[in-house]
């Protein structure tokens, strides 16, 4: 299976390294797309080494940027975003495409499942705007949500918001792919 792994900016971005490793251990080919904010937490080089593929980071970094997002959108069998920040969920729910990842998701075919593994502070997770965006996405057949878990978060608070376990994210990706066939 070909998985496009989107990584957005949050402290949980470092956990995406293990998601990538598990995907490749399961024999899946992985292409990583990172937002600018994600690169503040983990460098693209880390994911390039783990995936064996160049990491895509910008709409504007190639000589032919006008079509890179379309090529990336046509490549995967499944798109997974782990972690998915509140900002990214809002972009997806409202069809906004102002960075490479949101453009790829918007340009991907409706038959390509998108697995979202949100991670954020509990107050953000419980915010009515975030809940509404999640409800919108969950109402669309192609989006699959892997809810965050409850634990002590980076801020020291305890509550739901930590990135789901890597095994649960992988299981959701494989299930989404199986249901799309």
Phi, psi angles (nearest 5°) of residue 161: 160, -15
| pLDDT per residue as tens digits for the range 17-47 | 999 999 999 999 999 999 999 999 999 999 9
Catalytic residue numbers read 155
Instruction: Name 131's Cβ contacts closer than 8 Å, sequence gap at least 6.
Output: none
High-pLDDT (> 90) share of the chain, %: 86
β 143-145/114-118 pair status: parallel
**Distance (Å) of CA 19 to CA 65, 68, 71, 84, 158:** 28, 24, 23, 13, 23
The answer, yes or no, to whether residue 173 has pLDDT greater than 90, is yes
The answer, yes or no, to whether residue 70 has pLDDT greater than 60, is yes
Q: Between 3.40.50.1950, 3.40.50.970, 3.40.50.10260, 3.40.50.1820, what CATH number should domain 2-180 receive? A: 3.40.50.1950
Name the least confident of 16-25, 34-43, 66-75, 88-97.
66-75
Average per-residue pLDDT for the chain: 93
Q: Which of 135, 130, 138, 139 is nearest to 160 (CA)?
A: 130
Mean pLDDT of 58-85: 83
Name the pLDDT band for 63 (thresholds 50, 70, 90).
low
CA dist 168 and 181 (Å) reads: 20
Query: Domain map of the chain by residue range?
Result: 2-180
- Convert 141-160 to b/e letters by CB count within 10 Å (16 or more is b): ebbbbbebeeeebeeeeebb
């Amino acid at each position: 299976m070909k998985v496009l792994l989107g990584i957005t900016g949050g402290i949980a971005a470092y956990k995406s390294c293990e998601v990538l490793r598990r995907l490749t251990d399961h024999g899946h080919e992985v292409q990583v797309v990172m937002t600018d904010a994600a690169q503040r937490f983990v460098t693209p080089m880390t994911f390039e080494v783990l995936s064996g593929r160049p990491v895509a980071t910008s709409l504007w970094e190639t000589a032919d940027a006008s079509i890179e997002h379309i090529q990336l959108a046509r490549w995967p069998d499944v798109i997974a975003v782990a972690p998915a920040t509140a900002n990214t969920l809002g972009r997806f729910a409202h069809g906004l495409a102002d960075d490479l990842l949101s453009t790829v998701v918007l340009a991907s075919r409706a038959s390509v499942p998108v697995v979202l593994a949100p991670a954020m502070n509990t107050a953000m997770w419980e915010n009515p705007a975030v809940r509404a965006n999640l409800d919108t996405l969950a109402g669309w057949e192609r989006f699959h949500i892997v809810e965050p878990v409850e634990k002590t978060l980076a801020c020291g608070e305890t509550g739901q918001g930590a990135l789901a376990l890597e095994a649960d994210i992988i299981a959701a990706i494989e299930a989404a792919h199986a249901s799309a066939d």
